Structure 1
Amino acid sequence: MLRVVQWATGGVGKAAIEAVLAHPELELVGCYVYSEDKSGKDVGEILGGAPLGVVATNDVEAILALDADAVVYAPLIPNAREVARILRSGKNVVTPVGWFYPSERDAKLARACVDGGVTLHGIGINPGGTTDVHPLVLSAMSSSVTFVRSEEFSDMRTYDAPDVLRSVMGFGGTPEQARESPMLGLLSGGFTQSARMCLDALGFAEAEIRTSHEIGVATGPIDSPLGVLEAGQVAAQRFVWDAVVGDRVVVRIAVNWLMGEENLESGWGFGAEGERYEIEIKGDPDTFVVIRGWQPTSVAEGLRRNPGIVATANHCVNSIPYVCAAGVGIKSGVDLPLVAGRAHPELARGD
C-alpha cells in the first residue's frame, strides 16, 4: 500500500480523500489544513461522515515528518516553496494547481525532486488532462495534424465558492473589474503549459501564444452562488489561448464560463449542445469528441458534489501509483505510462 497525505481540504481535497479511500493500492495517513478550525478534527468529520482515524493538522513540520509516499497538493493557489519542502522530505507530489509541463523556470523544484529522490506531477481536468493528455491521445488516430482544440462550456452557478467567483474570477463586478482580476494571469500559467505540451509532442514549429478575454454582463437578475446578479454585472466570461505558427492557429484552448443562459446579453450561451467539453483534431482524418458527465445535471447537484471537481481529484489520485514508480524529477502527462482508474471494490478481483 502506498501511504498518502492530502494537502488542503477544499472541494478538490475532499474529493481526493474519497478517491484515496476507494483506491485499493492507497492508504490515507495524513491531512494538512490551513484552517485553525479544521486542525485537530478527524478527517471523516471534515468530510461530514464517520471518523477515519486520521486527524488533520495545520502543523507543516508534523506533515513533513510523516512516513508517506505521496502528497496530493490541492490548495487554491500554489506555493512553490511549500512544494519544494514536501519534495525534499522524500514525498512524491501530485497536484492539479500547476507544473503540468515543466520548463527551465522550474529548475529549483526539479532540484528539490533530486534532493528528495522523488517526483512532481501536475495533472487534473482543465488545465492538465482535457487540454493536453486527452488531445494527444486522440491525435494518435490522425496524421498531418494542422489544428488541435480543447474547449470547456460550464455553468458557474454550480461552483459553490462565492469568494473565488467574486474576488479571483471577477464575476458579479463590473467588466473593468473583471479585466483587472488576477484570473487571466492565474489561468495562463496552466493553460500555456498545456498548449506547449501539445505543440512539442506534435512537433509543431515555434509558436507564439496569444490570449484573449471576453466578458458578458447580465441583462436582468440572475441567481448565483454570489447572490442575485443585477443588470450590468459580469455574468459570463470566455478565455482563449491560441498558439500561432506564422498566421495559423494550430492549438486553441478555451473556457466558456457562464452564470446559466437566462438574462445574458446577446451572443452568450452554450448553444444546442449544452454544457460539455469538446476536443477537436484537424488532420487525416479529423476527430471531434464531446465529453459529458463532468458537469452536473442541475445547479443543485453541482452545489452538492460537482463532478468536474471530483474528476480533477480522481485524475490526481489515480496517478499516484504511476508517479511513485516514475523516475526522479518533474514528470508531465507525456512522461508517464497510461494512467487508469481502478474497479469498484464490489467488482474488483481478489489478489
Structure 2
Amino acid sequence: MAASMIGVVQWATGAMGRTSLRRILDHPGLDLRGVYVYNPAKAGVDAGTLVKRPPTGVFATADRAAILATDATVVVHTPRITLPYDALVDDVVALLESGKNVVSTAGFHWPDAHGTAYADRLRDAAIRGGVTLAGVGVNPGMIVERIALAATAMCVDLDRIIVRETVEASAMASPAFVFDLMGLGSDPAAGDIRDGPLGDLYSTLFGEVLHFAAAAMATTVARIVPDHRLTLAPHDIVIAAGTIAQGRVAATEWRWTAVMANGVEFVLAILWTADRALHDGLVPGHWTIDIAGRPNIAMTLDITEADPTRPPSRALTDATMAVAIRAIPDVVAAPPGLFAYQPTAWRA
C-alpha cells in the first residue's frame, strides 16, 4: 500500500453510501478501512458484497465503538438526514474526538448558523481530535455556495439572488424518503407539514445555506421570511414509491426569503413534486439561478442520467458523492476545526 493513500471509513450504506463505497474502492488514493451500517443484517458482510464488487476483506459492522477504534484518517458520513436535525451530532462529535476527519453529506454545511453552542461543540471536538469537519453536497453544498455566489462576483451592484430547485420524485423508489422525508402523500387534514417537524428540519438545514451566503458577502442575515407552499393531488397519482391519494400532498415547495443586513435579498426555493404536470406544465431546469443587479445574470443547471435504463435520481447521487470524495484531500489538509469552501462573492 502506498504511503500516500488515505485510510477511509464509510459510514452508512444507503443509496448515497453504496455509491460512496464504490468510489472509495475504485479510487487509487483511498484505502477502505471500515464500513458502518445501521441495519444489523448487513453486519459481517464484506464491503465488496454490499456493492456487488469483489471481496475486500473489510467487513461491515453495526458496532459504533469498533468504528471509533478503527485506524482511519477520514470518515465519509452519508446517513439519511433525520428528525430532529441535530440527531446526528453525537456520532459526528465522537468521530471527530477519535481523531477522524469527517466529510458529511447529512448537514454540517455552516454550523455557525445555529449559534455558538451548536457550532462550538462541533468545532471543539474537531480541535480536540486534531481533525476537520466539512458538510458537502450539491444542494446544500454546491449550487449556492460554490456556483451562485461565485457568479455574483461579476456584479458591480447586487439587489437579489433567486435560486430555485425542482426535483420530480416520480421515479424515486424509497417510500421512507419520498413520503417521510419529502413529505409527499401526507394528509393536510391531519396536520400542516409546513408547521411541523418537517418544516423545522428544512428551515434548519437550508438556513445554513442562507447564513453561509451572508458570510460570503461579508454581511449577516437580518431576517428570514418563510413562504412554504403545498400542492394537493387532484386525483390518485401512482409513483415508484407508492400511491398519493387524491387530496393528499403531491408537491412541497419550501421557500425562504433572507433579507441581508447589506440590503440584498436572497430567495431560496425547493420544489419537490410527484408530477411536473401539476405546475402548469412548467419544466424549469433542475436549478435556476437569477441574479438581479448590475449586470443581471441568469443560469440554468441540469444534472441528468446518461443511461436511460437507470433511475434519474442516480445522477444526483453520483454528483453528490463526486463532490464528497473530491473534498477528502482538502478536508484532510485543512487546519483542525470546521471547513467550508469559500467562494469569491460580491461584497458591498
**1:133 positional shift:** 2.2
> 2:76·2:324 contact (CA, 8 Å) conserved in 1?
yes
Does 2:178 align with 1:174? no
SS at structure 2 position matched to 1:140: helix
1:308-343 deviation line (CA, Å, top 9, x unaligned): 12211221111000000000101122299xxxxxxx
Among 137, 155, 166, which residue is 2:150 paired with? 137
SS at structure 2 position matched to 1:44: helix
Q: 1:283 to 1:21 in 2, by over 3 A?
A: farther
Equivalent residue runs for 1:115-194 within 5 Å: 115-175=128-188, 176-179=191-194, 181-194=196-209
Distance 2:24 2:6 in 1: 10
* Equivalent residue number for residue 53 of structure 2: 49
Does 2:98 align with 1:89? yes
* Equivalent residue number for residue 227 of structure 2: 212
Distance 2:229 2:211 in 1: 23
Does 2:324 align with 1:316? yes
Distance 2:254 2:77 in 1: 25
**1:140 positional shift:** 2.2
Among 37, 40, 64, which residue is 1:36 paired with? 40
Aligned partner letter, 1:85: A
TM-score (norm 2): 0.87
Moved more, 60-69 or 164-173: 164-173
**1:124 positional shift:** 0.6
Distance 1:251 1:318 in 2: 28
Distance 2:204 2:269 in 1: 14
Aligned partner letter, 2:222: A
CA RMSD of aligned residues (A): 2.4
* Equivalent residue number for residue 302 of structure 1: 311
Aligned partner letter, 1:196: H
**1:251 positional shift:** 0.9
Distance 2:302 2:310 in 1: 15
Equivalent residue runs for 1:1-351 within 5 Å: 1-76=5-80, 77=82, 78-103=87-112, 104=116, 105-175=118-188, 176-179=191-194, 181-204=196-219, 206-245=221-260, 250-262=265-277, 264=278, 268-269=279-280, 271-273=282-284, 275-294=285-304, 301-302=310-311, 306-334=314-342
> 2:146·2:342 contact (CA, 8 Å) conserved in 1?
yes
Moved more, 224-233 or 316-325: 224-233
TM-score (norm 1): 0.86
Q: 1:270 to 1:173 in 2, by over 3 A?
A: same
Aligned partner letter, 1:80: V
**1:239 positional shift:** 0.5
**1:187 positional shift:** 1.5
Unaligned runs of 5+ in 2: none
Q: 1:170 to 1:333 in 2, by over 3 A?
A: same
Unaligned runs of 5+ in 1: 337-351
> 2:210·2:221 contact (CA, 8 Å) conserved in 1?
no
Q: 1:287 to 1:52 in 2, by over 3 A?
A: farther
Aligned partner letter, 2:299: V
Q: 1:148 to 1:294 in 2, by over 3 A?
A: farther
Moved more, 158-167 or 242-251: 242-251
**1:235 positional shift:** 0.7
> 1:218·1:233 contact (CA, 8 Å) conserved in 2?
yes
Aligned residues: 329
> Relative to total residues, which structure has the larger helix share, 1 or 2?
2
Query: Percent of aligned pairs with the same residue?
Result: 31
**1:282 positional shift:** 2.2
Moved more, 176-185 or 222-231: 176-185
**1:206 positional shift:** 4.4
**1:97 positional shift:** 1.3
> 1:3·1:27 contact (CA, 8 Å) conserved in 2?
yes
Aligned partner letter, 2:163: S
Q: 1:216 to 1:168 in 2, by over 3 A?
A: same
> 1:131·1:191 contact (CA, 8 Å) conserved in 2?
no
